[in-house]
A and B are shown apart, each in its own frame.
Chain A
Amino acid sequence: MDLATSLENVTVLGAGGKMGSGIALLLAVEMAKRRLDPANRGRGYRLHLVDTSAEALDGIPGYLRAQARKIGEKTTVALRELYAEREDLVENGEIIQAFVDEVLDGVRLATDAAAAKDSKLVFEAIIENPEIKVKVYRDLKKICGEEAFFLTNTSSVPIRLIDEEAGLDGRIIGYHFYNPPPVQKLVELITTPATKPGLVALSEELGKVLRKKLIPANDIAGFIGNGHFMRDGLHAIAEVEKLAKDRPFTEAVYMMDKVSRDFLVRPMGIFQLIDYVGLDVFKAILSVMKPNVPDPSLHSELVDKLVAAGVKGGQYPSGAQKDGFLKYGKKGPEGVYDPEKGDYLAYDPAWCARLDETLGAPPASWQPWKKLARNKQAGELLATYFADLHALVTPGAKLAAAYLKRSKEIGEKLVADGVANTTEDVNGVLQNGFYHIYGPINDYVQA
């Protein structure tokens, strides 16, 4: 079945979650545009949004409406063309409102997966739990027609596991969006030898339609993104545990977060990133990967302990960051969790300055991520910066050099283990999905 026909009836499972609602928005907007295209007259479009939580479903129309309005406001130039024949819609405001209505028009909400009955494409973005996913897919197999294709947003569960246990006969593919799906360009495409060729072709075409950058990953738990991120995070946690032998835990976390953000010129520190993903999600992904990947290091007692203590990170429905390793204010991190006290230590300027001094200043050639990300000469500037960094003997420089080296090892192992086909794919995932300016497999690392 071609993509144009497949898009006539689509279901998103787990639509109340952040990933699911983002995927729903992308699809709802695409369907609205197709509905407006005179070439599609006669076709109907339905988007079934399913979530077992009625409360989560309640929030979807409001979310879609607000986001569709923002999209309409940003694309009004093109929308005026699409609505050129509608004489009754003259002003931008009228056209944007019509577009918002159009996006919502084909959406149907349901708490039961039975709504997917006539769908040709089913996107799944439910909880990252292999048993639950398999159960849901077993149900879907009964509900949906034999021609239905399934696209799972899993970031860690092996596709073959779901395929075989649910008996989908290759009708499932890994289609891993990055958070938030409407914004992030990257989609990891995970196939297995059993994946139907028609599904691969359709997924690739859909990627182009949604203007996503598809990077192939092989079916090894965690794939490229989490394959790197988990180990990267575990490296930072191990460094914290080492540092915490000689200084308070809070200081160690602050220092590693700063090293990973500033010294490595990344958009956010590693602990801020773990908080963004959620410590509970981090823990869940590790537990999915551990039995499926021959790597005993994929576990963190510290994360287990923190999650048990209710320190989970993640985001509020508004998008605001919840406290995790770090405590957040309007302008970003403003404190760090102290497990001994079970409370956060607020950043004190003198305390931060003392730790910054301990780490030492980065070399003069350092520039913040925000500035370098916009610089076309970033590659050359980073080469100079990292050469200067390696010439320093400060604690900060040493931690950064070790981190850079470890990140490269992780990346290379992903290629060696067959998770990624190429170095470029590893670097592509980190640069597109994590906004790194440079890939982990680079020439900046020195022996």
Chain B
Amino acid sequence: MKKMRKNVYLCCGYNTVSLGTGRPEFHPKKPRPGIEHYVQEAGRKVLAQIPSADLVDECVIGNFMAARFCRQGHLAGLMASIDPALLYKPSTRTEGACCSGGLALYTAIKSILAETADVVLTLGVEVQNSMKAIYGADVLAGAGWYAGDRKKGHAYFFPNQFSIRSGVCYEKYGYDKVRRGMAHWFANAITNARRCPTAQEHHNKVEDLVELGMTPPNPKVFCEHISVFDCSKVSDAGSGLITCSEEGLKKLGIPKEQAVLVEGVGQTEADLCAPPPDQTALTNMAKSVAAAYEMAGVGPQDLAFGEVHDCFSINGLLACEAMQLVKQGEAADFVAEGNVRHDGTIPLNTSGGLIGWGHPTGGTGVRQAVDMVLQLTGKAGTFQVEVKPERPHGLLINMGGNDITVTTLIARRAE
């Protein structure tokens, strides 16, 4: 598909709070809401923005590992618990590790394009705080190749995949330069999260964030080349929005200026059983972004902001290169110079991203889409950035595993 065959819109977004360490209401030993709560809260808050739940034709829910985190499979069946009007309607669950949300968006868009639906309730959800991090690491390792790589892998399997990438980058570009870029990425994530009330790090009060980001790695308890501050959060959260056609938008009575038009989508898949072709590049992400740029007919110079998948700070840097903001090897300086800050040349992750807002793995893609809709429609409030007429496009990149499943989506405010 080179071009979108009909208009597809996103609107009526909602993010729950990202619950986990950092939130004052979070206590690891006290009972917390289950996964159905997040499905229902996100779903109901979306439905509250449309005239009637009867207008929903289909449901899609993105989730990675509820079967292990919450011992709950069969998530498509949770959608009808949001509202009785959803009973007996088509419902699909998507899974692509941390890109499960991105796949939910892609699936919803395809339903619109296939004309099987005009209005799709699109959700992403994950509840991860049901176990300690060391066991959660086992669950998340499911995004890698279990039979081939898990046994020889690290206790913190996924952090270590990106620790390896970081180490190779240190060697290639210099430790101080890359580490400084990563620390500035962390600082920007927390600074932006402080602007967003639902962010997990919203209440973070650390004064010198760059210094904290420079915390040296301790391989005895964690990974060789990264510290915990280079990592995204362990989060419980749900996000939802409406994906709809032109007809759907009319049925819902949503003014176009409150919706965004999807201009380009890139969904690409790499080989789960093969190692990354280049540890210093997100090869598959670059393909996904290129496909989305081509479909949308835009380039990095046309973007007002971006929502990128910074599961680890090094991934934030490499994403800057994959989305062609800078050439390979230049991202660390680009970030350290402040280019991705709210007042920078291209604000990235304006509500904190995965490190600041939180990373409810299978829900992240939809969370990114919700924030993109808020930014493009001018409703981001305390974390709003300026969307100039000459650069009206927003971009989101959602990644699963170690650059295995990637969804890129480009949109602008509908007219």
Query: Which A residues lie at the B interface, using CB under 8 A?
Result: 73-74, 76-80, 87, 90-93, 96
A74 and B155 in contact (CB under 8 A), knowing A92-B134, A93-B135?
Answer: no
For the complex with contacts A80-B154, A90-B151, 9 further pairs of A-B residues with Cβ separation under 8 Å are A77-B154, A77-B156, A77-B221, A78-B220, A90-B146, A91-B150, A92-B137, A93-B135, A93-B138
Question: Is B182 in contact with chain A by the CB < 8 A criterion?
Answer: no
Q: What mask results when residues 183 to 219 of chain B are scored 1 for a CB within 8 Å of chain A, else 0?
A: 0000000000000000000000000000000000001
Q: Is the CB of B141 within 8 A of A91?
A: yes
Which A residues touch B219, using CB under 8 A?
77
Residue in B closest to A76 when the chains form the complex, CB atoms: B155
Question: Is B29 in contact with chain A by the CB < 8 A criterion?
Answer: no
Question: Is B26 in contact with chain A by the CB < 8 A criterion?
Answer: no
Question: Is B5 in contact with chain A by the CB < 8 A criterion?
Answer: no
Which B residues touch A87, using CB under 8 A?
151
Q: List 7 A-B contacts (CB under 8 A).
A: A73-B132, A76-B155, A77-B156, A77-B222, A79-B155, A90-B151, A91-B141
Q: Is the CB of B151 within 8 A of A77?
A: no
A80 and B155 in contact (CB under 8 A), knowing A73-B132, A92-B137?
Answer: yes
A73 and B134 in contact (CB under 8 A), knowing A80-B155, A91-B141?
Answer: yes
- Give Cα distance in the complex from A92 to B153, angstroms: 10
Residue in A closest to B160 when the chains form the complex, CB atoms: A77
| Minimum Cβ distance to chain B for residue A319 (Å) | 15
Which among B132, B135, B137, B155 has the highest number of chain A CB atoms within 10 Å?
A: B155
Which A residues touch B135, using CB under 8 A?
92-93
| Minimum Cβ distance to chain A for residue B67 (Å) | 15
- Give Cα distance in the complex from A79 to B154, angstroms: 10
A76 and B134 in contact (CB under 8 A), knowing A90-B150, A91-B150, A92-B155?
Answer: yes
Which A residues touch B220, using CB under 8 A?
77-78
| Minimum Cβ distance to chain B for residue A160 (Å) | 42
| Minimum Cβ distance to chain A for residue B220 (Å) | 7
How many B residues have CB within 8 A of the partner chain?
16
Query: Which B residues lie at the A interface, using CB under 8 A?
Result: 132, 134-135, 137-138, 141, 146, 150-151, 154-156, 219-222
Residue in A closest to B220 when the chains form the complex, CB atoms: A77
| Minimum Cβ distance to chain A for residue B43 (Å) | 32
| Minimum Cβ distance to chain A for residue B360 (Å) | 21
Residue in A closest to B141 when the chains form the complex, CB atoms: A91
- Give Cα distance in the complex from A92 to B158, angstroms: 13
Which A residues touch B150, using CB under 8 A?
90-91
Residue in A closest to B157 when the chains form the complex, CB atoms: A92
Residue in A closest to B224 when the chains form the complex, CB atoms: A77
- Give Cα distance in the complex from A73 to B221, angstroms: 10
- Give Cα distance in the complex from A427 to B328, angstroms: 55
A96 and B141 in contact (CB under 8 A), knowing A77-B219, A90-B151?
Answer: no
Q: Which of B138, B146, B155 contacts A77 (CB 8 A)?
A: B155
- Give Cα distance in the complex from A80 to B150, angstroms: 11
- Give Cα distance in the complex from A73 to B155, angstroms: 10
| Minimum Cβ distance to chain B for residue A143 (Å) | 41
- Give Cα distance in the complex from A222 to B315, angstroms: 58
Which A residues touch B132, using CB under 8 A?
73
Q: Is the CB of A74 within 8 A of B138?
A: no
- Give Cα distance in the complex from A23 to B150, angstroms: 35
- Give Cα distance in the complex from A93 to B134, angstroms: 8
Which B residues touch A91, using CB under 8 A?
138, 141, 150
Which A residues touch B146, using CB under 8 A?
90
Which B residues touch A73, using CB under 8 A?
132, 134
Which among A78, A79, A87, A91 has the highest number of chain B CB atoms within 10 Å?
A: A91
| Minimum Cβ distance to chain A for residue B158 (Å) | 12
Which among B135, B141, B151, B221 has the highest number of chain A CB atoms within 10 Å?
A: B151
Which among A74, A90, A92, A93 has the highest number of chain B CB atoms within 10 Å?
A: A92
Q: Is the CB of A96 within 8 A of B134?
A: yes
Query: Which are the 9 A-B pairs with shortest beta-carbon distances?
Result: A76-B155, A91-B138, A77-B155, A73-B134, A90-B151, A92-B138, A93-B135, A92-B134, A90-B150
Which A residues touch B222, using CB under 8 A?
77
Residue in B closest to A70 when the chains form the complex, CB atoms: B132
- Give Cα distance in the complex from A90 to B154, angstroms: 10
Which B residues touch A90, using CB under 8 A?
146, 150-151
Which B residues touch A78, using CB under 8 A?
220
Which B residues touch A80, using CB under 8 A?
154-155
| Minimum Cβ distance to chain A for residue B211 (Å) | 14
Residue in B closest to A94 when the chains form the complex, CB atoms: B138
Which A residues touch B134, using CB under 8 A?
73, 76, 92, 96
Residue in A closest to B137 when the chains form the complex, CB atoms: A92
| Minimum Cβ distance to chain B for residue A200 (Å) | 31
| Minimum Cβ distance to chain B for residue A161 (Å) | 43
| Minimum Cβ distance to chain B for residue A68 (Å) | 14
| Minimum Cβ distance to chain B for residue A336 (Å) | 29
- Give Cα distance in the complex from A93 to B155, angstroms: 10
Which A residues touch B154, using CB under 8 A?
77, 80
Which among A74, A76, A96 has the highest number of chain B CB atoms within 10 Å?
A: A76
- Give Cα distance in the complex from A321 to B221, angstroms: 31
